[in-house]
Structure 1
Amino acid sequence: MIKIGNITLPEFPLLLAPMEDVSDPPFRTLCKENGADLMYTEFISSEGLIRNAMKCRQKLDIFEEERPVGIQIFGGDEDSMAMAAGIVDVTNPDLLDINYGCPVKKVACKGAGAGVLKDIDLMVRLTTACVKATNLPVTVKTRLGWDDDSKNIEEVAERLQDVGIKALAIHGRTRSQMYKGQADWSLIAKVKNNPRIHIPIFGNGDIDSPQKALEYKNRYGVDGIMIGRAAIGHPWIFREIKHYVQTGELLPPPTVAERVYVCKEHMRRAIAWQGLKVGVNEMRGRYASYLKGLPNIKEFRSRLLLLNSPEEVEAVLDEILVKYEGFEMERAPITLIDYHERCPL
């Protein structure tokens, strides 16, 4: 078993990464139902949170069925981070996570997210401020370093553990890499094997199949894996990995009926959470990934993008179910889509 403060997770847990515009409550719940062990919210600006920005406040929404769940914040000012941590504490998540990994310019170049990797002393002060401001377990998500000349993750892990974090998730790239190139897990393994480190270490980056998940588990010895882009449109990745780790056998890919069901269920939950108009509109960006791999599906996707009522959407999804009845989805590695403008950290 893996412990994060008072949270108990199964051996080798699978974590859903906090992805901006993706990891909302409806999607988190679907991933939970398909085997994810720990959820994270979309990242939340500490400055926006303390100024009561509506979008930031809405990201605090969590529901019992998705627990355990952590709320992730980012920022570069100690007072603001401490105040935000206090606000998060009141909403009663299971943990507080700090983002020191988002590489996008609007975050990193303002001294937050991966921008903090340039100043480890600041990272320590920010983390200390959060630890002191909340009764929740505090965890961190970060990268190997700012660039190839400053891969400081080993020092970061020791110093953050010393000031009280309870787990560390490491994306195997530098900020300069963004999401390009191959994630380097060798430094993640060095952190995990450091005799000074006693907190759980989770690896993140490029896990796009059950086979790779098991290979990296065995090769690098991490306590668990965080899944980001590979879960977009494919919440089944968690059950597939768990089954393969336990049995060595691959599950068949999700059927067309499963894909249609998840589209409907996601839409219903989005409407229940955000209301009719916003819920239906929010789903428009989801259909392509959920229906990927179906031949000649473009016409249906185009129709779905124009619909404004759940009844119309469900009618088109039912057409898809009839048209592709008996169609067998081919198993293929999940493509890690281009996600540079978002921040799955």
Structure 2
Amino acid sequence: MNIGNIELGSIPLFLAPMEDVTYKSFRYMCKKYGADMMYTEFVSSEALIRDIEKTKRKMTLFEFDRPVGIQIFGHNIESMVEAAKIAEESNPDIIDINFGCPMKKIVNKGAGSGMFQDVPKMIEMTSQIVKAVNKPVTVKTRLGWDENSKVIVEVAEQLQDTGIAALTLHGRTRKQLYTGEADWDWIAKVKNNPRMHIPIIGNGDINGPLKAKECLDKSGVDGLMIGRGAIGRPWIFQEVRHYLETGELLPPPLVPEIVENVKDQLTQSINWKDSPERAVKEMRRHFAKYFPSLNNFRELRIKLLRADEIDEVVILLDEIAERYSDTRVDYTNISLK
């Protein structure tokens, strides 16, 4: 599969752009375990054109990232075009447009999946961005606004006609948010539409190798995107790739192996944030996901989530590794909710 001139191999695995998740340290971990394509956190076009430092910092890229995309969102066409040009200056491999975020604060402004309320504007915005930048432009979106308006087959054709290089589909409507199940049958309808010739990437509910294979077989997509399933489990990319290539499942990781990965990510956070305290705070979302389903773990979990000092965190991690030294963490039935 290619996006423009970027060669990604057969059935590439993509790390989904996620706010407050896909920053440097987490991208590093996912790349370590074989993610083929990375994305930054999504970037507000309005904040970008106002030169907000916190927003610009999200676009800081590293050599380990590549190939990597910067994803932008917004409701104003002129602002989105200008933001795309600014993002291009950071030299990503692609510019990605977010037409998929279902969050109320974004949708109420007409951005993200709120664009399904004005499809002609969505198409015009995409067309102008494609013309404004030299990098390949891709789009990530959903099936439609609600159950009664799944218009993605027609919209996908129109987006393709603007000149985008690839399309990622999350198998839910905006109204679903992240409830219910992703509908890969609709993703298959887009992929199997004879008019479509650009790569189609499928996204939604991939929580392990078996689900990845099921979704791939059902839809025939060119690539798979993994989001929430990678939080606290960056090695999911390795697990999926191994299963797709061999048909064999890798054994679940031992807790001490997980602890070493947590320490690795924490080190990357410290190096990026230049502050152990900020790094610990950044990692809390991941602490809660790295150790699911361990017996009698509640007290240690609470301590880990309340720890403020790096030394305290390391002591707790070492205690977890020792107490559960022979325990493997099976993620098979872990919910993504």
TM-score category of the 2 structures, normalised to the smaller one: over 0.9
Q: 1:76 to 1:246 in 2, by over 3 A?
A: same
Q: What amino acid maps onto 1:73 in structure 2?
A: I
Deviations 1:87-107 (A, max 9, x none): 111000111000001111100
Correspondence 1:127-146 to 2 at 5 A: 127-146=126-145
* Structure 2 partner of 1:283: 283
* Structure 1 partner of 2:56: 57
Q: 1:226 to 1:274 in 2, by over 3 A?
A: same
* Structure 2 partner of 1:319: 319
CA shift, 1:330, in A, is 3.6
In 2, the alpha carbon distance for the partners of 1:329 and 1:197 equals 41
* SS across alignment from 1:284: helix
Task: Determine if contact 2:185/2:218 at 8 Å carries over to the other structure.
Answer: no
In 1, the alpha carbon distance for the partners of 2:147 and 2:27 equals 33
- Tell me how large the CA RMSD over aligned residues is: 1.3
TM-score by length of structure 1 reads 0.94
Task: Determine if contact 1:81/1:129 at 8 Å carries over to the other structure.
Answer: no
Between the two proteins, what is the percent identity of the paired residues? 55
CA shift, 1:331, in A, is 5.2
Correspondence 1:238-317 to 2 at 5 A: 238-276=237-275, 277-317=277-317
In 2, the alpha carbon distance for the partners of 1:119 and 1:331 equals 40
In 2, the alpha carbon distance for the partners of 1:182 and 1:299 equals 32
CA shift, 1:333, in A, is 2.7
* SS across alignment from 2:146: coil
In 1, the alpha carbon distance for the partners of 2:333 and 2:242 equals 16
Q: What amino acid maps onto 2:137 in structure 1?
A: V
Q: What amino acid maps onto 2:154 in structure 1?
A: E
Task: Determine if contact 2:207/2:332 at 8 Å carries over to the other structure.
Answer: no
Question: Does residue 199 in structure 1 map to residue 192 in structure 2?
Answer: no
* Structure 2 partner of 1:340: none
Q: What amino acid maps onto 1:213 in structure 2?
A: A
In 2, the alpha carbon distance for the partners of 1:275 and 1:331 equals 33
* Structure 1 partner of 2:188: 189
CA shift, 1:329, in A, is 2.9
* Structure 2 partner of 1:158: 157
Q: What amino acid maps onto 1:235 in structure 2?
A: P
In 2, the alpha carbon distance for the partners of 1:58 and 1:307 equals 26
Name stretches of at least 5 consecutive residues in structure 2 with no aligned partner.
none
TM-score by length of structure 2 reads 0.96
Task: Determine if contact 1:30/1:266 at 8 Å carries over to the other structure.
Answer: yes
In 1, the alpha carbon distance for the partners of 2:329 and 2:105 equals 39
Q: What amino acid maps onto 2:138 in structure 1?
A: T
Task: Determine if contact 1:236/1:254 at 8 Å carries over to the other structure.
Answer: no
* SS across alignment from 1:303: helix
Task: Determine if contact 1:170/1:204 at 8 Å carries over to the other structure.
Answer: yes
* Structure 1 partner of 2:95: 96
CA shift, 1:182, in A, is 1.4
In 2, the alpha carbon distance for the partners of 1:279 and 1:242 equals 30
* Structure 2 partner of 1:45: 44
Between 1:314-323 and 1:292-301, the stretch displaced more is 292-301
In 1, the alpha carbon distance for the partners of 2:25 and 2:83 equals 24
In 2, the alpha carbon distance for the partners of 1:119 and 1:265 equals 44
* Structure 2 partner of 1:147: 146
In 1, the alpha carbon distance for the partners of 2:16 and 2:285 equals 19
* Structure 1 partner of 2:167: 168
Name stretches of at least 5 consecutive residues in structure 1 with no aligned partner.
338-345
Deviations 1:146-191 (A, max 9, x none): 1122211111111111111000000111111111111111121111
Q: What amino acid maps onto 1:322 in structure 2?
A: E
